[in-house]
Amino acid sequence: MRTRCATLTLRTRTEYGRIVTMMGARIGQRVARLPRGHGLTQAALARMVRTTRENIARIEGGGPGSGVSVDMLVALAVALEVPVGALIDEVPARSPR
């Protein structure tokens, strides 16, 4: 019974890892696309969200290890003037006012 539980847990972790990787890639694509629409560079966006340009590049890359914390996700959405959902899902981004 323990082996079966361990296997299910491993499968669950593997599936979770895939979901996190897919979400990271999706968020990264949107973060990369939206600043250019606002005329922002990685460095300018990094200053706005109080991180490094390298961290923004890592997020935009969307590969393994590019996970975004909830706090960073909110900071990015505020800086880009879009709802958080626009970075996560297919929610259309509003135009800046």
Inside any domain, residue 65: yes
Inside any domain, residue 78: yes
**Residue 39 is part of a domain; what is its CATH number?**
1.10.260.40
Inside any domain, residue 73: yes
Cβ pair 56, 32 in contact under 8 A:
no
DSSP state letter for 63: S
Of 70, 44, 66, nearest in space to 55 by CA: 66
What is the number of structural domains in the chain? 1
In terms of residue numbers, what domain contains 60? 2-88
Q: How many CA atoms lie within 13 A of 21 on its CB side?
A: 8
pLDDT one-digit tens code per residue, 16-54: 566 666 777 888 888 888 877 778 899 999 999 999 999
Q: Is the pLDDT of residue 93 over 80?
A: no
Inside any domain, residue 95: no
The pTM for the full model equals 0.70
How many CB atoms within 10 Å of residue 62?
21
d(Cα 75, Cα 29) in Å, to the nearest integer?
16
- State the pLDDT at residue 47: 96
pLDDT one-digit tens code per residue, 45-85: 999 999 999 999 999 987 666 678 889 999 999 999 999 98
Inside any domain, residue 93: no
